[in-house]
Structure 1
């Protein structure tokens, strides 16, 4: 394994304050997770209040996602050049500003513009969060710290729907953004006093041409992925978008390889352990987003559960993650992250074997047990895999590596949602004998099983990749 160049832990102030710093590093991901889950819940209320159609209301979500995806690598590089702590604090300020503007938006145009600002703030924070964790915590505590971050994200997902329901019942949708402001201000004050906000120690400037090319490339690719969710793969605009995106990506890589100080050092991907663990991360988030998309429709349209039952069952996955992630992080510090990561993948495989058995008569206990096992697997896999990713590069690349990891997460989730939707509708159409454009109960289970088979194959590929990494790097 390529050893991480050690950060100077002689800075006693940073080491002494590491758990206070961790408060800031987990609160901000918590806000992001909470915000995402609440927005999805209150979207119908925003649609009604602003008198907009479904297409425009979906831009409230997609504008945020695309903004994060297109800028996160750029801000990761800035963190490496200008100091991760300093850039992270700027990110909190921008996120607070975006949240405030969202809360006072009188129409959809200003709301989408405000969501873009909020997305920039979230992108800055996400790009430098993991790198700061790797700097602040010594290697024997890093897994535990990343596990706590995973629990914070899970907790945000748990609280989001309940808080969203409370807000829509007693308050207006504007409060879903207002709640970010006091949390953000407290995080900024604590972070300003404790974060390692060092000035730049290099004269290297940001590769602006590369940053611009990267922005356009990821914008085209992510927009095509989001469009495919409505139009489907095979649509001429979606296919042309992907073609253009991959051409731009090829040009970007060729351009960056010619520079002495590129924005994205593509030689990082020659570190086999980094590439292997990023591939595993992509597969996990692909699987997770696919399950999160399909299960609510299965509970609603096939099993005919009430909204209260659905809300309770959906909470199983993040609730289990909340408790397991810190334990997983602690174990990875004690016995090594690769062993824990492989265990997580094995449990994912087991959970998918169970989900393939889902049909019109699945017992509730079997359903909940399967989701419990997947939640256990998610909590087991996440933080050790992130530890592996962040421990394979020199310390001057921690910011860019953390942002690449976050981009892979977003890419995996977007790809999982789009591709699993396409598989689902293709298989339903195949069974029905005509093109299906909505949920058809008679063929939904057939389509769902097909998706789960694909996810199972992907999980087996992840296990093979992770095992190759283990043997090559002697974990």
Structure 2
């Protein structure tokens, strides 16, 4: 199999390919957030409970996270163009099935099918970008991928609200059909075959099964633990199965020749620390997303429409500063900009920990803007550092692991922010008690950010020592 050369593409043509490929990423990220708006309508149409409805969203996210590394490993063995086209096809057809669901059970099953396509798309975007852009020029496009992810997340709720109010809930799935069709046709004509030189070795079915079981049980524990009770029997059984599965997985992956999870990648400090600091950043991202809407509603008594408006600066700053972070990574290296970005984001959480009953709109905007600038500056350089620490022929599994880290970090962030609220020792139904609880949670988020800064500093020191040898 012939590996595509970095010089295969002219500069202008790379950006055409980039635009076509990230359209799929945009579609998937819009779909991950658009369903939140549809839940009240689905509850009415299907006459079901919120406990059942949550699986329309949870099943989608759990399946994507559970199969991403498996998708990445398969992509490293196959033609990435064919794999990506398969992902677009599955996602688009899954959207069609979801649009014509006749029961809530059908919708959940079709969402799981749709998520397989979403996982294929998410697991291959950064890999394809790494192939078509040469080393030293990947920061800006990878930064723009971060902007597209943020934009999709922002557009989802507002687009969903418009479509549902105008055309009904089925339209949130039907809108994917023209986007998917255009993306599919464009990829056929624009993207060349991208194959690695990796031999087609036997696929580690046992390792894939162990990983899927381990990650699904862990995510269920993280997302449902507060509902089940952290010390309940079902929580204990779920986390026990996860731990045992992970232990068997690690033992197996170390001992076989062609593992599903490339444990050898984690021998690189840039790869290991980069993924862990990325995980920390996604935990941090969920603190304002979960806590601030509750704080603004219960303490400041701000209307829902104004809450949405006040949360916008974070996403806008992420969109604007992700490409800047990528540009800085290309020009000055990855570690310095990543550390500065985490510093800004951590200061933003520290600012939020000082919010009180008289906090002004301006203070909220400043804190969220500072946080968004920091996350934007951090994400692109960190992604570049992780991708360039791994061999190019393993960029599929690398990109999939990074996407897995992103989803797992988000789930962890939701669970931790709620857990810290509960651990604050204050009565959450009083204004003063809720202020203390949110302050405690943001303070814990601040210390999580400090940990990320220290790890990024350690990575910088290690890399400088390696260059000096």
Q: Is the TM value for this pair above 0.5?
A: yes
**Correspondence for 2:73:** 77
Q: C-alpha displacement at 1:245, in angstroms?
A: 0.4
Q: Is the 8 A contact 1:144 1:330 kept in 2?
A: yes
Per the alignment, residue 116 of structure 2 pairs with: 120
Question: How far apart are 1:7 and its partner, in Å?
Answer: 6.6
- Give how far 1:307 is off: 1.7
Q: Which residue of the other structure, out of 181, 192, 196, is the alignment partner of 1:185?
A: 181
- Give the conservation status (yes or no) of the 8 Å contact 2:223–2:411: yes
- The alignment partner of 1:315 has SS state of helix
Give 1:39's aligned residue: 35
Secondary structure at 1:140 match in 2: coil
Q: CA deviation at 1:200?
A: 6.6
What is the aligned partner in structure 1 of residue 250 from structure 2? 253
Q: Tell me the residue number matched to 2:458.
A: 468
Q: Structure 1 length as normaliser, TM-score?
A: 0.94
Mapped to 1, the partners of 2:226 and 2:377 lie a distance apart of 30
Which blocks of at least 5 consecutive residues in structure 1 are unaligned? 1-5
Deviation per residue, 1:307-326 (Å, 9 max, x gap): 22111011121112112212
Partner of 1:3: none
Residue in structure 1 matching 2:21, options 3, 19, 25: 25
Residue 41 of structure 1: CA displacement? 1.5
Q: Spell out the pairing of 1:55-134 with structure 2 (5 A cutoff).
A: 55-134=51-130
Aligned length: 462
Off by >4 Å, runs of 4+ in structure 1: none
Change (3 A) 1:440 1:255: farther
- Residue 372 (str. 1) matches residue 365 (str. 2): no
Other structure's SS at 1:141 match: coil
| Mapped pair 1:306 → 2:303 | yes
**Aligned residue number for residue 294 of structure 2:** 297
Mean Cα displacement is larger for which, 79-88 or 401-410?
A: 79-88
1:343-370 superposed Cα distances (whole Å, 9 cap, x missing partner) = 1011012212211111111111111110
Name the SS for the 2:426 alignment partner: helix
Q: Which sections of structure 2, spanning at least 5 residues, go unmatched?
A: none
CA pair 89-353 structure 1, distance change in 2 beyond 3 A: same
Judge conservation of contact 1:7–1:395 (CA < 8 Å) in 2: no
Once the two structures are superposed, residues 397-441 of structure 1 have per-residue CA deviations (whole angstroms, 9 ceiling, x without a partner) of: 1111111111111111101101211111232xx223xxx6xx543
Q: Deviations over 1:207-231 (max 9, x none)?
A: 1121122111112111222211423
Counterpart position of 1:455:
445
- Separation in structure 1 between the aligned mates of residue 172 and residue 49 of structure 2, nearest angstrom: 21
CA distance in 2, matches of 1:447, 1:81: 49
Residues 149-168 of structure 1 mapped to structure 2, 5 A cutoff: 149-168=145-164
Contact 2:75 2:124 in 1 (8 A): yes
Q: Which residue of 1 aligns with 2:171?
A: 175
Q: What does residue 350 of structure 2 align with?
A: 353
**TM-score between the two structures when normalised by the length of structure 2:** 0.95
Equivalences for residues 322-337 of structure 1 within 5 A: 322-337=319-334
Distance in 2 between residues matched to 1:24 and 1:345, nearest whole Å: 31
**Mapped partners of 1:10, 1:151: distance in 2:** 26
Q: Contact conserved, 1:233 with 1:422, CA < 8 A, in 2?
A: no
Q: Is the 8 A contact 2:4 2:195 kept in 1?
A: no
Contact 1:25 1:149 (C-alpha < 8 Å) held by counterparts: no
Deviations 1:38-88 (A, max 9, x none): 111221111111111000110000000110011000000001011322211
Say whether the 8 Å CA contact 2:64–2:115 is kept in structure 1.
yes
Provide the residue aligned with 1:402 in structure 2.
399
1:96 Cα deviation from its structure 2 partner: 0.4
